[in-house]
Amino acid sequence: MIQTSRVGRLAVPRTVPIGAIRAESLALAGVLTLAFVLRVAWAAYSDWQPALNDDTYRYDFAARALAEGRGYIGLTGSPSAFWPPGYPLLLAAAYLLLGDSIWVAQALNIALGAATVWLIYLIGRRTLGVRPALVGASIVAAFPSLIFFTAVTLSETAFTFFALLGVYLLLRESQREEGRDRPLLLAAGLVIGFAALIRGPALLLPLAFVPFWLRSGVSWRPIAGRVAVIAAGIALIVGPWAVRNAIQLDAPVLISTNGGVDFWIGHHEGAVGHGEKADELVFSHPELSTVEREVRTDADGFRKGLRWAVTHPAQEVALLGQKLFWLYHNDEQGLRWNDAHGGQPFLGDYVRQGLLNLSNGYYFAVLAFLVLGAPLWLSFRRPGPVLLISLIVYWTVVHLAFFTDPRFHAPIMPVVALLAALPWAVLWSRGDRERSGDQ
């Protein structure tokens, strides 16, 4: 059977044995089955329930309010845009179709989590090749923290799926032989637009493709054309929500009003780089209504944070190192959200500590193989590794601009897993050559 191997935009015919295709399909089916079974098993084992006054409760509350026709409201019942609406909208649709049981939310996460494994295989196949794609998908399928996140109503699982779907569509368009595919670019923009409604940092995600496009031989003018079409797709999704905010909040809010709070947390006197309470900012205007205070707090956060950053450049530079540390220093948040950080214990002390150690050990092993594979992915001889590196750099930088938390690195770990898979893929190929030599 003849298939096409692509390097950048060049298609090179190659012959793929039927047996190899069958083996690849079986391997992928096994990986996807593993991903699904592990996520179902954890959701069944976890005794998680939304805990009052944490993010899981607020997402679940917003989704239920939408499903009941009360609109997108805050805990006080007033119109709100404090939390990005994408995940509550998705969850509300699931509640409307299947009922408002917590199991429905978990089933949605299980489906999206397993689909993410399939997506990372497709992305890996186009950027690195079949074997790294299979190994990377296997790493993601069994990634403890990604499995743990599927049991709770947080946006990590949904965001990761839609962000990677947008990446896959852009990657597929870039490797079309016939030239620019505007419908595919528009579709990618629509998907990335929805990802941005789940997590705002996705809004500029197409910029991470610029180094990849340049490495693929695309000049600046076609790149600008691509970005314009993608931006149109993003605007079609984000625009209506911005109009809703302008009407209900009487303010120009693009996606959410928590950006100012997040920015202030990362840029103020005494900031340490990670999350902290922002009572000093949030409760600074008690004379205003709930909606007015939400909008004012957002604006004040950006204004005060930017003023402090400009007047304290030395502290800002020092904070970058702290933020980088807090973003990647452990991988415990997936499990800790399952028991509300100890507030809803359902695991024995030894089991809990064992799972925390498993999560951290797996995570650091993946990072170790990422570093071990650096000579392979730093060669820059192909556009694919450039794209994966660009995505990791983009995701890191966009969080350094605000504040960081280990939870925030979860969406980029599937991409990290692909690069970490390269040493394993090399060993796999070497083993095949040695067996062929013995024969």
For 369-398, write each residue's pLDDT tens digit.
Answer: 999 998 888 776 789 999 999 999 999 999
Taking the C-alpha atoms of residue 22 and residue 204, their distance in angstroms, rounded to an integer, is 39
Q: Is residue 310 predicted with pLDDT exceeding 60? A: yes
Contacts of 7 (CB under 8 A, 6+ apart): 382, 383
- Percent of the chain scoring above 70 in pLDDT: 92
3-class SS of residue 15: strand
Interatomic CA distance for residues 109 and 375, integer angstroms? 35
- Give the pLDDT of residue 320: 97
437, pLDDT greater than 70: no
pLDDT in tens, 6-38: 433 333 344 556 766 788 889 999 999 999 999
**Single-letter residue type at 295:** V
The pLDDT, as a whole number, for residue 4 is 42
Residue 12 has a pLDDT of 38
Domain range spanning residue 385?
Answer: 2-432
Q: Is residue 294 part of a domain?
A: yes
Q: Give which of 172, 177, 181, 137 is closest to 31, Cα–Cα.
A: 137
Confidence band of 431 (pLDDT split at 50, 70, 90):
low
Sequence-distant (≥ 6) Cβ neighbours of residue 159 within 8 angstroms: 86, 87, 195, 198, 199, 202, 411
Q: What is the pLDDT of residue 379?
A: 72
Report the number of distinct structural domains present in the chain: 1
Please check whether residue 341 lies inside any domain of the structure: yes
Contact 141, 38 (CB under 8 A): yes
In a domain, 438, yes or no: no
The confidence score (pLDDT) of residue 7 equals: 36
Mean per-residue pLDDT for 200-213? 96
Residue 10 lies in a domain: yes
pLDDT at 286 over 60: yes
Note the pTM of the prediction, 2 decimals.
Answer: 0.93
Q: For residue 271, give both structure tokens.
A: 């900031």
Contacts of 86 (CB under 8 A, 6+ apart): 155, 158, 159, 162, 194, 195, 196, 197, 198, 199
| 72's tokens | 């997108």
Rg for the chain, CA atoms, rounded: 22
316 to 273, 395, 401, 409: CA distances (angstroms) = 10, 19, 10, 21
Average pLDDT, the chain: 91
Which distant-in-sequence residues (6+ apart) come within 8 Å of 398 by Cβ? 201, 204
373 lies in a domain?
A: yes
Does residue 64 belong to any structural domain of this protein? yes
Q: Does the residue 437 lie in any domain?
A: no
Q: Which of 46-55, 153-162, 168-177 has the highest mean pLDDT?
A: 153-162
The first and second tokens of residue 175, run together, are: 């490797």
Domain-embedded: residue 414: yes
Q: Distance (Å, rounded) from C-alpha 57 to C-alpha 51?
A: 6
